[in-house]
Structure 1
Amino acid sequence: MFPKKYSKIIFIFFMGLGMSLIMTLIITYINTGYDELYYKRFFKAWSVSLPVALVATTIVAPIVEKFVDKITK
């Protein structure tokens, strides 16, 4: 197990990983269809989308957390 102090970093990593994986799988399928080269196209697209998702989650998560804290009791 990881120490609790790393929970936000671990959250960002797994959120970015999961979101980029699901979105890239679906968007690659919609844009190009499924054939023998699907996985090659998917991994190429995911190699771009994963770092973008990690950076975006790092930036957006704290903002969303503050917003949710303000609108909830």
Structure 2
Amino acid sequence: MDNSEISQSLNNIANQVSNLGSNTSVGLGDISQKIDHLNTGIALTNTLLVLLIVSIILNSLINWRNKKKN
């Protein structure tokens, strides 16, 4: 190998390393967006779960009150 081949190889390696950084940044941005989407879905699910629990409690109290009257 002469100096020009070594220089070309080193340049290729340097370019590949810099491309890895760019690709990693793009991938992390995509993952961050997916995590944000999941967080939004989880927040909605938690809200619906709280509403379900409140309605179950109210239903139980109403049933208990009706049985107590009879």
TM-score, structure 2 as length reference? 0.38
TM-score, structure 1 as length reference? 0.37
Larger radius of gyration: 2
By percentage of residues, which structure has more helix?
2
